[in-house]
Amino acid sequence: MNERILVVDDEESLRLSLKFKLKSAGFDVDVAADGEEALEKLKAKPADAVLLDINMPRMSGIEALTIIRQKYPQTETIMLTGFADFSTAIECLKIGAKDYLVKPVDTTELVTRLRSLVRSRSSERALQEVHQEYTGLISEDLIEPLKKIQTMLDQASKLAVDADKDRKKLISNARELTDKMEAKLKLLVEFSKRAATIGTPGGAELSPTQLAEQLKGIRKGTTK
Amino acid sequence: MPLKKEPTEIRYLYKFKFDDGTEKNFDVVLNSTTLELIRDDPNPKPGWTRLKYSQCENCPLPGTVEYCPVAVSLAKLVESFHDAASYESAAVTVETAQRTYFKKTTLQKGLSAIIGIYMSTSDCPVMDRLRPMTRFHLPFANSIETFFRSVSSYLTAQFLLMRQGHQPDWEMKHLQGIYKAVNLVNKGMTTRLLKATEKDANVNAVVILHSFGDGINYFIESGLSELEPMFDVFLKEAAALENSADVNGPAKTHLSQ
């Protein structure tokens, strides 16, 4: 899926030329004529990055930036201005804009900056996903079944001497869970060995997205 | 009865009326044959109009030229709006001999239209290529209208070249190069204007012109395809003629009949 960029400028020709350029650079592009429309568009469909003009009617770029940072902290913002104003640039960066470009924007430079911005953002997102899957595997797939096994063993120990059938059933269930845990732990050990070689000569070449996919596979039992 | 003699001048009278009641008028006068701007230079000329002040990186003018022709042509307009904001609203009227145009718009949009005429008619060797478009100037044009006028003007030039025995560029391969050069001038001009003005109206007006140049390549590659349905009658006729040629041998077009 292409990264989604929202271009916000009150001037139609600027919106169109940026849309043309960014689309041909492979981005999925939407446009808005002012801050209010930008917020409506973001509400309907989030964007990876917003290119935001500073001087616009109805709602200024700085006002829009403030709201975007509050409501959509995952969305990065690059400010555009026709007039290089150092204090405004500082203000925008303080509010949370990632960059500040003076128009006419060199589109090659803009594409480079956007790529690096959304790439680092998607790596960040993928790493968060790896972390989430790993934590999920440990807590939901290992610790929770372990607690269940403990409960089963407790229940088995409290059963009457002649309740052999129930005891056997509990032990069999506990055994089944330990088998599943063992299988997942073995896969996790293999996964950790592979992950440890990333970045070493001849090591595994796995992106954060691939790592997250492997963890998902271990959890679902689709990875053997 | 003798034909009515064409006037020797083309005039575009731009009137900017603001919410506070103030009004500013600019009369752009062109030679109707050469489309060259009949200049009304400021005296003295401001320092930022000197050629060397912030010369465009592709400027072909020799060092003996003291002032940038584009900057001088723009000087009175630019100084008049030096402290105006781009999104300020204005009621802009443009009077020509044939008709009057009116639009409530942003100042940057109004300024962009008039700056476009000044820039392409002020004798800059790079901007000269856009001069024929000023004969068919369309105030407040949107992007698609400007792209279309630009492509039409360029293809007309190619037709004239072909008629005179030269090699035409029907694929418009060189049009992008023209706009690349034009955009270096637009960029150079924004650098000058940033130093000459306190607010962004003038600069953003040139930025709008720059954006047309930036989008032209994509328009040729993709935008023109979006216009195909409008030319359906030509496309269907050509397809029908080709089909009948397949059945009956070479077809005659209505042009060759």
The rounded distance, in Å, linking the Cα atoms of B162 and B154 is: 12
User: Does B215 sit within 8 Å of A82, measured CB to CB?
Assistant: no
Structure confidence at residue B256 (pLDDT): 47
ipTM of the complex in this document? 0.77
Best mutation target among B86, B146, B220 (most A Cβ atoms within 10 Å) is: B86
Q: Residue B252's pLDDT is what?
A: 54
Q: Do A11 and B190 touch (CB under 8 A)?
A: no
The number of C-beta contacts closer than 8 angstroms across A and B is 81
* pLDDT tens across the length of chain B (257 residues): 666 667 889 999 999 999 999 999 999 999 999 999 998 899 999 999 999 999 999 999 999 999 999 999 999 999 999 999 888 899 999 999 999 999 999 999 999 999 999 999 999 999 999 999 999 999 999 888 999 999 999 999 999 999 999 999 999 999 999 999 999 999 999 999 988 898 889 999 999 999 988 888 788 887 888 889 999 999 999 999 888 877 776 655 555 44
pLDDT in tens, A23-68: 888 999 999 999 999 999 999 998 999 999 988 878 889 999 999 9
Secondary element (H or E) of residue A5: strand A4-8
pTM for the whole structure: 0.75
Q: What is the CA radius of gyration of chain B?
A: 21
Residue numbers in chain A where pLDDT is lower than 50: none
Cross-chain residue pair A57–B212, CB shorter than 8 Å: no
Query: DSSP assignment of chain B, as one string?
Result: -PPPPPPSEEEEEEEEEETTS-EEEEEEEEETTT--B-----SSPPGGGBTTTS--TT----TT--B-HHHHHHHHHHHHTTT--TT-EEEEEEE-SS-EEEEEEEHHHHHHHHHHHHHHHS--TTGGGGHHHHHT--TT--HHHHHHHHHHHHHHHHHHHHHTT----TT-TTHHHHHHHHHHHHHHHHHHHHHH-SSSHHHHHHHHHHHHHHHHHHIIIIIHHHTGGGGHHHHHHHHHHHHHHHHHSSPPPTTT-
Q: What is the pLDDT of residue B200?
A: 87
Q: Which of A20, A56, A63, A105 to mutate to test the interface with B (most CBs of B within 10 A)?
A: A20
* Owner of token pair 């400021």: B42
The verdict on a CB contact (< 8 Å) between A83 and B109 is no
